[in-house]
Structure 1
Amino acid sequence: MRALGVVWDLIVLNLLFLVCCIPVVTIGPAITALHYVTTKMAGEKDGTPVVGNFFKSFRANFRQGVLMGILFGAAGGFLGYDIYLLWHSGNFQNSIFKILIPVAAIAYMMTFVYAFPLLARFNNTVLGTIRNAFIMSVTSLPKTFSMLLLIGACVAFTLYTQTTLRYGLFLWFALGFSSIAYANAFVLNGVFMKCSEQYSSQINQEQSQDTTENSDSKK
């Protein structure tokens, strides 16, 4: 029954996500709310229904989510166009762009899988969130690639044949986006917890040093 409850929540969450993506400009807040709900489902549970948590995050992160969505959309479109030129134009075959563009695309995907979950969980500026997302993706490289591998495998399976395309599209619209976010949420929660512990340890060390310095100065 618990498993069926999780599946039902993922179906509802997937539907909310797709509906909120229809205006296009709201894709960023919708992705943020999606990760906010799935990280809660995979970690601490406050008893709030999926719908309530989704719109709570959607409203709270609307402005920053829209801005981040525009930035990632523009960067993704630019990289996609560059990859298209790299694939179809012979002028790029022996240039440095043959290396730079794939590297930039990988860095983009690595940053993307952390940026919106970070926005959902921590208060920061948009540029600060993107910077931290990139740093976190590099420092947790094995976990980053495990999340990218899951996404890539699902996309590749969907596009494998016409049969898998039909069934795959049905699954994507039914619970595909929420299921992938839920699976990655277990990885993200572990990374976030580790970073929070390191940050708390650093704060405690700084406070301890300040206390020692103050006591020495009084003496």
Structure 2
Amino acid sequence: MLNFTSENKVIWILGKIGQFVLLNFLVLLGCIPIVTIGASLSAGARCMKKMKEPEGGILTLEFFHAFAADVKQATGAWLVLASVMVLGAGDIYYAIRIAEPVNMFFLFFGGVLFFVAVSMLFWIFPLVANYDNRVKGHLTNAFLFAFGKLPATLLLWGIWGSPVILCYFRPVFTSLVGYIIVFFGVALQLWLSHLIWDHTLCREETLEVHSVGR
């Protein structure tokens, strides 16, 4: 049995920090082509789950294996939701910056589109990482989770949106936020999100098993 001394704790903590930094680098690297953002974040979500296992494999191999396994479904879902996000953002921009006076219809319509697409995007990553399904099935389930578990979705909005809000209202922190994102910020957001995803998905699986048992 491992004697978990203070020295071992320090080594364990440093090892976890190293894994966070490495995973953050891999996820950002996978996001560079833009079109593969969905696959990269899905692979990051799968690796975050693997990092909790005591006998996890080599993180780099785990990431690229997950990336290759998820690229088709994750990229398809990402492109659909990204298109809706761009459409919503374009309507908001038109309503505020171009229309005179502000066009409330386009503002509301664009806001709803953007909110729905981003909310679904938060759930696409764990669904693709944990379940085999077609793109349409993943999108349907993401919509059901996004609004069926609205409190959890709002927490995810807070996790992923807080850096943007901080930089918008306090531009002086933009450089600091940028450094954090580059070194470990995205991995930290995935870890916090994983706590929500794991709790919610495991609970749904438990309820489904109980329902089948009846």
The TM-score bracket by the shorter chain reads 0.7 to 0.9
1:77-111 deviation digits (Å, cap 9, x = unpaired): 11111111121133674553333322222222211
* Counterparts of 2:170 and 2:104, CA distance in 1: 34
**Distance 1:104-1:75 versus aligned 2 partners, 3 A rule:** closer
Counterpart of 1:102 in structure 2 is: 111
Are 2:66 and 1:57 aligned? Answer: yes
**Distance 1:73-1:92 versus aligned 2 partners, 3 A rule:** farther
Q: CA deviation at 1:162?
A: 4.4
Counterpart of 2:203 in structure 1 is: 194
- 12, 31, 49: which one aligns with 2:41: 31
* Counterparts of 2:186 and 2:160, CA distance in 1: 10
**Distance 1:200-1:21 versus aligned 2 partners, 3 A rule:** same
**Residue 61 of structure 1: SS of its match in structure 2?**
helix
**Residue 135 of structure 1: SS of its match in structure 2?**
helix
Please tell me whether the aligned partners of residues 45 and 126 of structure 2 are also in contact (alpha carbons under 8 angstroms): yes
Please tell me whether the aligned partners of residues 38 and 78 of structure 2 are also in contact (alpha carbons under 8 angstroms): yes
1:55-78 deviation digits (Å, cap 9, x = unpaired): 121111121122122212222211
Counterpart of 2:30 in structure 1 is: 20
- 161, 166, 171: which one aligns with 1:157: 166
Higher mean C-alpha deviation, range 188-197 or range 108-117: 108-117
Counterpart of 2:5 in structure 1 is: none
Counterpart of 1:208 in structure 2 is: none
1:123-147 deviation digits (Å, cap 9, x = unpaired): 1111111111111121211111111
Please tell me whether the aligned partners of residues 39 and 188 of structure 1 are also in contact (alpha carbons under 8 angstroms): no
Q: Write out aligned runs for 1:1-219 (5 A).
A: 1=10, 2-41=12-51, 43-90=52-99, 93=102, 95-205=104-214
Unaligned runs of 5+ in 1: 206-219
Please tell me whether the aligned partners of residues 110 and 148 of structure 1 are also in contact (alpha carbons under 8 angstroms): yes
Q: Which amino acid aligns with 1:74?
A: S
**Distance 1:98-1:27 versus aligned 2 partners, 3 A rule:** closer
- Number of residues of Structure 1 aligned to a counterpart in Structure 2: 204
Please tell me whether the aligned partners of residues 39 and 186 of structure 1 are also in contact (alpha carbons under 8 angstroms): no
**Distance 1:87-1:32 versus aligned 2 partners, 3 A rule:** same
- Structure 1 length normalisation: TM-score? 0.84
Cα RMSD after superposing both structures: 2.0
Q: Which amino acid aligns with 2:176?
A: Y
* Counterparts of 1:34 and 1:92, CA distance in 2: 44
Q: Which amino acid aligns with 1:136?
A: F
* Greater RCO (Cα-Cα under 8 Å, separation 6 or more): 1
Identity %: 22
Q: Which amino acid aligns with 1:90?
A: A
* Counterparts of 1:158 and 1:3, CA distance in 2: 29
